[in-house]
Amino acid sequence: MQASDVVLDVQGLSKFFLVSAGGMLGMGGEPKRIHAVEDVTFSLRRAEILALVGESGSGKSTIARLIAGLYPLTAGEIRFHGQDVSRLHGRRAMLRYRSQVQMVFQDPFASLNPVKTIAHHIERPISIHRRASGRRAQRAMVHELLRTVGLTPPEEVAAKFPHQLSGGQRQRVSFARALAVSPEVILADEPVSMLDVSIRMGILNMMAGLRDERGLSYLYITHDLASARYIADQTLVLYAGHLVEAAESEEVMVRPLHPYTQLLLSAVPDPAAGLVQKRVEARGEIPTVINPQPGCRFANRCPHVMDICRRATPEIYQPQPGHRVRCYLYAPPGTAE
Partner 1 sequence: MQLKTRTSSSPSQDTLTAAPAAPITPASSLGPMAVRANRRRTVIPNWLKLLLSNRFALVGSIMLLIIVLAAIFAPLLTTYDPSGIASAQSSLSPTSGNWFGTNQQGEDIFSQVIYGGRLSLTIGAIVGVLGVSLAMIVGMLAGYIGGWIDEALGVVMNIFLVIPQLPLLIVASAYLPVKGGLGMIIILSITGWAWGGRVLRAQTLSLRNRDFVQAAYLSGEPTWRIVFFEIMPNMISLMVSSFIFTFIGAILAEAGLEFLGFGDINTISWGTILYWAQTNSALLTGEWWHFLFPGLAIALTITSLVFINYGIDAISNPRLRAIKVAKQYRNQVKARAAATAAARVTS
Partner 2 sequence: MSVIAPSLPWSSEKAGAADTLLEVRDLTVDFITPRGPAVAVDDVSFSIRPGEVFGLAGESGCGKSTVAHAIMRLIKPPGRISGGSVLFRGQDLGPLATKQLQQFRWLKASIVFQSAMNALNPVMNMGDQISDAIRAHERMSRSQALERAAEMFKLVGIETKRLRSFPHELSGGMRQRAVIAMALALNPELVIMDEPTTALDVVVQRDILQQIQDLQAKFGFSILFITHDLSLLVEFSTRIAIMYAGRIVDLAPARDIFLNPKHPYTVGLMNSFPSITGEKRQLQGIPGAPPDLVTPPPGCRFAPRCIHVMAQCIQTYPPFRELTPDHWTACYLYDDAGNRISGEGERASL
Does residue 231 bind partner 1 (CB under 8 A)? Answer: yes
Distance CA 321, CA 301 (A): 28
DSSP 24: E
* End-to-end Cα, the chain, rounded Å: 36
Report the DSSP beta bridge partners of residue 9.
43, 79
Among 44, 157, 252, 264, binds partner 1 (CB under 8 A): 157
Residues 30-69 that bind partner 2 (CB under 8 A): 55-56
| 270 contact choice in partner 1, partner 2, none (CB below 5 to 8 Å, kind-dependent) | partner 2
Residues 228-287 that bind partner 2 (CB under 8 A): 229-230, 253-254, 263-265, 267-280, 282, 285-286
Instruction: Go through the chain and tell me how many residues it has.
Output: 337
| 263 contact choice in partner 2, partner 1, none (CB below 5 to 8 Å, kind-dependent) | partner 2
CB-wise, 79 or 229, nearer to partner 1?
Answer: 229
Residue 153: asked if its preceding bond is cis (omega within 30°), the reply is: yes
CB-wise, 93 or 290, nearer to partner 1?
Answer: 93
| 317 contact choice in partner 2, partner 1, none (CB below 5 to 8 Å, kind-dependent) | none
Instruction: Give residues with Cβ within 8 angstroms of 299, minimum separation 6.
Output: 305, 309, 310
Does residue 147 bind partner 1 (CB under 8 A)? Answer: yes
Strands (E), the chain: 6-20, 23-24, 27-28, 32-45, 49-53, 75-80, 83-84, 101-104, 185-189, 217-222, 234-239, 242-248, 317-320, 323-325
- Edge to edge, what strands does the sheet with 32-45 contain? 32-45, 6-20, 75-80, 83-84
Distance CA 225, CA 333 (A): 31
Among 11, 43, 141, 150, binds partner 1 (CB under 8 A): 150
Among 18, 19, 93, 128, binds partner 1 (CB under 8 A): 128
CB-wise, 125 or 259, nearer to partner 1?
Answer: 125
Give the nearest distance from C-beta 291 to partner 1 in angstroms: 25
Give the nearest distance from C-beta 164 to partner 2 in angstroms: 12
Instruction: Give residues with Cβ within 8 angstroms of 282, minimum separation 6.
Output: 263, 267, 301
Among 32, 124, 131, 223, binds partner 1 (CB under 8 A): 124
Does residue 226 bind partner 1 (CB under 8 A)? Answer: no
Among 22, 144, 226, 230, binds partner 1 (CB under 8 A): 230
Residues 160-199 that bind partner 1 (CB under 8 A): 160-161, 163-166, 168-169, 172, 174, 177, 181, 199
| 3-state percent helix, strand, coil for the chain, nearest multiple of 5 | 35, 25, 40
Write the single-letter amino acid at 227: S
- Count of residues in contact with partner 2, rule CB under 8 A: 42
Per-residue x/- track, 7-46, partner 1 (CB under 8 A)? ----------------------------------------
Q: Quote the distance between the C-alpha of residue 221 and its chain's center.
A: 3
DSSP 29: S
CA atoms within 13 A on the CB side of 214: 16
Give the nearest distance from C-beta 319 to partner 1 in angstroms: 20
- The rounded radius of gyration (Å) of the Cα atoms in the chain is 21
Which parts of this chain interact with partner 1 (CB under 8 A)?
A: 49, 68, 70, 94-95, 98-99, 102-103, 105-107, 110-116, 124-125, 128-129, 147-153, 156-157, 160-161, 163-166, 168-169, 172, 174, 177, 181, 199, 202, 205-206, 208-210, 212-213, 230-233, 248-250
